[in-house]
């Protein structure tokens, strides 16, 4: 069984896996449109984390993990808990530039209308939230910077993430 990560699951895996592949899914765009009240914010001051939004022509790069059958139930139980802030399981096809990796990767997506759906806001407003939010898993800015660093390490450029990094840096170091 495969699991595809496009956010914190890229740099903070937290489960054993047998193989890790860099790949992409088509038709989805990575967006900081999910409120976080349990990891990078609190209910009174939510942070912002990524989810995926269906968008024709979009491509989202991330990492696919192949997990061993005996580990499946334990890993899914842990992930269901970790991603419980509005994310739901979906199944996607993951490819790399050489072809398909798997037609059945499990992925966690917070779709529009979920309890933590933050939706689109002007980018400078999202940046302001990220610059100050903090939750049980740490500072929101660290989530953004870790995502940016892990994408850079994979040689992946994501304009939405890059723009937020730039805006947050300007807020913190004007
Ligand atoms: C993921 O990483 O695939 C889901 C979103 C997150 O936990 O950041």
* pLDDT of 67 higher than 90: yes
- Cα(85)–Cα(97) distance, rounded to whole angstroms? 32
Mutate to test the pocket of ligand 1, among 2, 3, 4, 6 (most ligand atoms within 8 A of CB): 6
- Cα(145)–Cα(157) distance, rounded to whole angstroms? 13
- Cα(108)–Cα(163) distance, rounded to whole angstroms? 24
The per-residue pLDDT for 65 is 98
Index of the ligand 1 atom closest to the CA of residue 147: 8
Residue pLDDT, tens place only, 151-161 = 999 999 999 99
Ligand 1 site: residues with CB under 6 angstroms?
5-9, 49-50, 83, 108
Q: What separation in Å is there between the alpha carbon of 108 and the centre of ligand 1?
A: 7
Q: With residue 13 as reference, give the H or E element that holds it.
A: none
Q: What separation in Å is there between the alpha carbon of 7 and the centre of ligand 1?
A: 4
Tokens 């895996």 found at: 13
Residue pLDDT, tens place only, 1-59 = 999 999 999 999 999 999 999 999 999 999 999 999 999 999 999 999 999 999 999 99
Alpha helices in 6-158 (DSSP H): 8-11, 72-82, 123-132, 140-153
Classified as helix, coil or strand, 167 is: helix
The per-residue pLDDT for 172 is 85
Question: What does each C-alpha distance from 6 to 26, 33, 108 come to in angstroms?
Answer: 12, 14, 9
Q: What separation in Å is there between the alpha carbon of 127 and the centre of ligand 1?
A: 18
Q: Output the pTM of the full model.
A: 0.96
User: Residue 33: which residues within 8 A CB-CB, separation 6 or more?
Assistant: 48, 50, 51, 53, 110, 117, 118, 119, 120
Backbone CA torsion sign across 10, 14, 20, 26: negative
Nearest CA to ligand 1 atom 3: 5
Index of the ligand 1 atom closest to the CA of residue 143: 8
Q: Rg for the chain (alpha carbons), in Å?
A: 16
* pLDDT of 133 higher than 80: yes
Q: What rounded mean pLDDT belongs to the chain?
A: 97
**Of residues 19, 83, 104, 163, which has the active-site annotation?**
83
The per-residue pLDDT for 126 is 98
The per-residue pLDDT for 140 is 98
Mutate to test the pocket of ligand 1, among 3, 34, 60, 83 (most ligand atoms within 8 A of CB): 83
The per-residue pLDDT for 100 is 97
> For 79, how many CA atoms within 13 A lie in the half-sphere containing its CB?
25
Is 18 annotated in the active site? no
């Amino acid at each position: 069984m495969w699991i595809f990560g496009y956010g914190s699951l890229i740099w903070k895996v937290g489960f054993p896996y047998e193989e890790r592949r860099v790949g992409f899914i088509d038709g989805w765009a990575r967006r900081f449109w999910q409120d976080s009240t349990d990891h990078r914010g609190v209910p009174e001051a939510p942070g912002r984390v990524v989810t995926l939004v269906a968008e024709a022509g979009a491509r989202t790069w991330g990492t696919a993990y192949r997990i061993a059958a005996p580990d499946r139930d334990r890993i899914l139980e842990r992930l269901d808990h970790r991603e419980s802030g509005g994310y739901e399981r979906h199944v996607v096809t993951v490819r790399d530039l050489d072809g398909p990796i798997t037609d059945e990767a499990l992925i966690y997506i917070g779709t529009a209308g979920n309890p933590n759906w933050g939706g689109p806001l002007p980018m400078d407003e999202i940046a302001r939230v990220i610059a100050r939010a903090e939750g049980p898993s740490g500072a929101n800015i660290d989530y953004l910077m870790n995502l940016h660093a892990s994408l850079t390490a994979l040689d992946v450029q994501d304009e939405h993430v890059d723009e937020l990094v730039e805006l947050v840096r300007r807020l913190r170091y004007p």
